[in-house]
Structure 1
Amino acid sequence: MKTIFIPTDFSLNSLDCITNLCEQYENESLNFIFVHAFKLSDSISELLMLSRRSREYDYIPDGFYERCNQIKAECPQVVSIRTEFFFGSTMATFRNFLEANDVTCILNPKDCSYTSLNKSSLDPFVLTSKCGLPIVSVLTIKKLVTEQVENAPTAKQMIAEAY
C-alpha cells in the first residue's frame, strides 16, 4: 500500500492528479494525504490552543470533500483521501509528520496545485525536496499518445498533401 503526500491549496483542480496516479499504480492500494503547511506561531497562547484549532479547515471548500467522495466511489483502489495541516518549519518536525502518517512518496511539485492560503503558509517544496522520500510524477504518456493519434492526418489528407 502506497501513501502519497500531496502539497495542496485544496482547490478542486488539485484532485486531478488522483486518476492518473491510480492508472500508474493500478495494482496497488493507495492512500492520499493532501497537506498544506503553515509556519508555527510564536504566540504561546496560540500554541496551547493549536490542537483545538479548526479555522484552517475553513480553507477547504465543500466541493473538495464532495469530489473526494466521488473519486473514492470511482476508483476502488483508493483506500483513503485525507486532508491535513502541517505546522512547523524544521526538517525534523517534517520527517516526524511523514513517519506518523506512513508516507511512502511525495507528488512532484510540478504536478501539484499549490498557492499560499494566508501569510503563515509555508512553501512545502523546500521541505519535500530534502526529506529523502521518493518523488513521483504524474505520467501523461497515454494522454499524449491518444491526442497525437486523434490529431494524425487521415490517409486522404496525406495523399492530398503529396499532390
Structure 2
Amino acid sequence: MKTLLIPTDFTAQSLQCIPSLAQQYYPKKLNIILVHMLKITDSISELLMLSRRSAEYRHIPDNFYVRCRELEKDYSHLINHINIDFFYGSTMAVFNNYLDAHNVDAIVIPHDNYQMLFKNSIDPEVLIAKSGKRTISITETPGIMANIVAEEVELIEQQ
C-alpha cells in the first residue's frame, strides 16, 4: 500500500490525476490524502479551538465530496481510501511530522491553476520542495491528462 499526498484547492482539477496515479501504482493500492495547507494562527484563543475547527470544512463543495466517493467506488480495486484534510503549519519540522504521521510515500506537485482559498492559505510547493520526499509532477495538455512523470528515477518496479 502506498500513500500519496495531493495538495488540493477543492476543484475537479485536483482530482483529475487520481485515476492515472492509481493505474500507475497498480497492483499496489493507494491511500490518497487531499490536503489544503494553512498557516497556523498566532491567536491563543484560536489555537485552543484548533482541534474543534470545522470552519474550513464548510468551504469544501459538496460535489467535491461526491466526486471523491465516486473515485473510491470506481477505482476500489486500485484505491483503498481518499481522505480530505487540512494541514496547519508553516515550518518544515511540522510538515515533516505530518508526512511521517500519515506515512506519505510521495507528494504530487499541485496543478497549474492551484488557488489559495483562505487568507492564511500557503503555497504548498514551498514546503514540498524542502521536504525531501519523492515528488510526482503532473504534466497536462489542454483538457487531457498527458502523462505522469516521477521526478526521481525510482519508479514502481523498485517499490
Give TM-score scaled by structure 2 length: 0.83
Match of residue 79 from structure 1:
80
Alpha-carbon distance change, 144 to 132 in structure 1, aligned in 2, over 3 angstroms: closer
Q: Please give the alpha-carbon distance, in whole angstroms, between the structure 1 residues aligned to 2:59 and 2:80.
A: 24
8 Å contact from structure 2 (residues 23, 78) kept in 1:
no
**What root-mean-square deviation, in Å, do the aligned CA atoms of Structure 1 and Structure 2 show?**
2.1
Q: Please give the alpha-carbon distance, in whole angstroms, between the structure 2 residues aligned to 1:28 and 1:138.
A: 20
Report % sequence identity. Answer: 49
Q: Which has the higher helix share?
A: 1
Residue deviations 1:7-66 (CA, integer Å, cap 9, x gap): 110112211110111121121110110111111111000000000010010121110111
Q: Which amino acid aligns with 1:134?
A: R
Q: Which amino acid aligns with 2:51?
A: S
8 Å contact from structure 1 (residues 11, 113) kept in 2:
no
Q: Please give the alpha-carbon distance, in whole angstroms, between the structure 2 residues aligned to 1:42 and 1:134.
A: 31
| Higher alpha-carbon Rg | 1
Residue deviations 1:46-95 (CA, integer Å, cap 9, x gap): 00000001001012111011111111111121000001101111000000
Q: How many matched pairs?
A: 144
Which one scores higher on RCO, CA 8 angstroms, separation ≥ 6? 1
Q: Please give the alpha-carbon distance, in whole angstroms, between the structure 2 residues aligned to 1:106 and 1:86.
A: 14
Q: Which amino acid aligns with 2:109?
A: N
* Structure 1 gap segments, 5+ residues each: 146-163
Q: Which has the higher strand share?
A: 2
Superposition map of 1:126-141 within 5 A: 126-138=126-138
Give TM-score scaled by structure 1 length: 0.81
Structure 1 runs of 4+ off > 4 angstroms? none
